Amino acid sequence: MKDHLNIGIIGVGGIGSNLVSLLAPSLSQGNLLQKFMKININLYDSDKVEESNIFHQRFNHSNVGQTKVLATKINLTSFENEKLEIIPHEKDVRVANDILENDIIIVCVDSSDARIVVHSTDSIWLDLRCRGDNFMSVDYTTKRNIVESITDINQKPGSCQYEGALDSGNIQFGFVYAAAFGAQWLVQNLRKIINENNVLIPYPRSGSITFGTLGNFDIEEEN
């Protein structure tokens, strides 16, 4: 049996809230969970749930005013047990010390600061991004020059929705695409950790719901 495993989810908005809503039920039972002494899902986000969030994020009217990390825990508490716990951290990730305890980290927030911190760790990490119906992922296997070329330290945070999408009802679902990719990626990496056979980890890539896969990113050769 493996030791305690800490999973860090940075950002609990469009991508993150849906990702955790996929992960908690799927990890709450089954043989995979039994291979670990305990799995902690650490959530990092300082934002509170606003009325506008509930139309494309995994929250409801009763969550408005709660921090997103606490609301997520409350909504998924029925899936927690003695081996699986969701732990809310009401803060943003800005320095490595914020997330050092995590073995696997998934970035779900549009923050260059958080991305750069995660990219510099020795953890198994995934960086998810989306805009409209487009989605992009890079991870710890992606060639470093590619990761650096698409990570602008001066980039301003933005929404996963195009301007006016919520008001018009023209909601784009790239965030769901990203969340599903992240859930699949994480489960397969857990299987890799416990040395299961036939592990197929999703390839880092960019894609569109409308146009399909736009391209795969080159990865580093394994030693």
> Is 221 part of a structural domain of the chain?
no
Rounded to whole angstroms, the Cα distance separating 120 from 188 reads 22
Per the document, the length of the chain is 223
pLDDT (tens digit per residue) in 92-124 = 999 989 898 999 999 999 888 999 999 999 999
H or E element: which one contains 208?
strand 205-208
The answer to which of 28-37, 52-61, 98-107, 155-164 has the lowest mean pLDDT is 155-164
Reply yes or no on whether the pLDDT at 223 is more than 60: no
Written as six digits, the tokens of 172 are 């784009």
Reply yes or no on whether the pLDDT at 184 is more than 90: yes
> Is 55 part of a structural domain of the chain?
yes
**Percent share of the chain, pLDDT over 90:** 82
CA–CA distances in Å: residue 44 to residues 6, 70, 78, 161 = 13, 10, 20, 21
> Is 172 part of a structural domain of the chain?
yes
> Is 151 part of a structural domain of the chain?
yes
pTM of the model: 0.95
- Mean pLDDT over residues 125-137, rounded? 95
Rounded to whole angstroms, the Cα distance separating 1 from 163 reads 48
For residue 67, the enclosing domain spans 5-216
Tell me, what CATH number does 88's domain have? 3.40.50.720
Rounded to whole angstroms, the Cα distance separating 152 from 138 reads 14
Cβ atoms < 10 Å from Cβ of 32 = 16
The answer to which of 55-59, 172-176, 195-199, 218-222 has the lowest mean pLDDT is 218-222
Reply yes or no on whether the pLDDT at 14 is more than 60: yes
Q: Work out how many domains the chain is built from and give that number.
A: 1
Average pLDDT, the chain: 93
- Mean pLDDT over residues 39-64, rounded? 96
> Is 29 part of a structural domain of the chain?
yes
How many Å separate Cα 5 from the centre of its chain? 16
Tell which residue, 159, 172, 177, has the closest CA to residue 132. Answer: 172
Interstrand relation of 5-10 and 39-44 (parallel, antiparallel or unpaired): parallel
- Answer for the pair 8, 165: CB distance below 8 angstroms, yes or no: no
> Is 223 part of a structural domain of the chain?
no
- Answer for the pair 32, 39: CB distance below 8 angstroms, yes or no: no
> Is 195 part of a structural domain of the chain?
yes
What is the pLDDT, as a whole number, of residue 1?
A: 65
> Is 222 part of a structural domain of the chain?
no
Q: What is the arrangement of strands in the sheet containing 5-10, beginning at the earlier edge strand?
A: 84-89, 39-44, 5-10, 104-107, 124-131, 134-139, 205-208, 212-216
